[in-house]
Amino acid sequence: MSAGYFPKREKVGLEDLFKGLVTASHILHQNKVLDAYGHVSVRSPDNPATFWMPCDMPPALVSTPDDLVEYQVDDATAVEKNAKKGYLERHIHSEIYKRFPSVNAVVHSHCSEVLPYCISGVPLKASTHMAGFLGSNVPVWDISSHYPSGAKHDLLVRDSQLGASLSAAFKPATSAGFIYSKVRSALPAQIGGSQEPDKEPNYAAVLMQGHGFTTLAHGIEEVVYQAIYTKEAAQAQTTALTIRNAHFGHIVEGKIDVEGGKIKSAKVKAEGDLKYLSDREAHDAWESNQGTVHRPWALWCREVEVHPLYKNECPGCEDD
């Protein structure tokens, strides 16, 4: 299920998964992708019909296997009858796992750097090579037209109907977002590759109107990388838009009626347009970076290991 985590293994044990899931929660908090809200989950390596995620608690405080809950992919119900209370929006995760059999990890975040692109109508795009996985366009899913009858209109993905609608946004019926699926379908099967491209998502991330974003991947290191660099890409794009608007002005081309104060046949043209990655550049950048995900993962693991806030008391397995 995971390549960078346990380089000597093709399979992942539950002890490793638990330790990694706790570590991922800490890394995402340390990098300000998650705060007291948001969550990360991983599909079970023993049973693809279930997945694990922390119980209803702040990600930074998750520390033991007892803090983790196993859920059914089919309906997001807990496998154990007396399981701890879970996150309300676990249907985000269950419906993604249901729709995409090769996806093994999901992150949902309300990251403040990304939120402006969830409400402004300004498209989030891959502007740097580290975020090539975003492609040339990140979809924005608007929950407002998908609420079931009688449901609360609180923007929360409370049930399977809303979760299924969100998961469909990762592979819309008419989509130009081919980058993600093309790269993933070429991967070896043991690290999440698929021989069924029609079951691969077309997008690595989807923005949620007025809410946040969700990203998916084939392994836990990869989904953490994508979540962090979605934040970094949004921050870079916002900064670039800000300095562009501060530095460049607007020029008017054509005829202007000065006395009447009207523009006759002229048009206003902005100077200094931002240059985003092309589809080819985004594809090739992500293909190159994908093989290096273990590098930042090792750094992030060490950062949370030595930080006094984070406690990971999950026993790990020794590599064979």
Catalytic choice (70, 80, 89, 113): 89
Which of 10, 23, 2, 3 shows the shortest CA–CA distance to 316? 23
Which position has the token pair 């049930």? 159
Helix axes of 294-305 and 14-30: crossing angle, nearest 10 degrees? 80
10 is catalytic: no
Closest CA to 140 of 214, 51, 76, 54: 214
Packed helices 220-247 and 294-305: angle between N→C axes, nearest 10 degrees = 90
Q: Which residues of 246-266 are buried (b: 16+ CB within 10 A; e: fewer)?
A: eeeeeeeeeeeeeeeeeeeee
CA distance between the termini of the chain: 16
Alpha-carbon distance of 223 to 92, in angstroms, equals: 15
Active site residues: 89
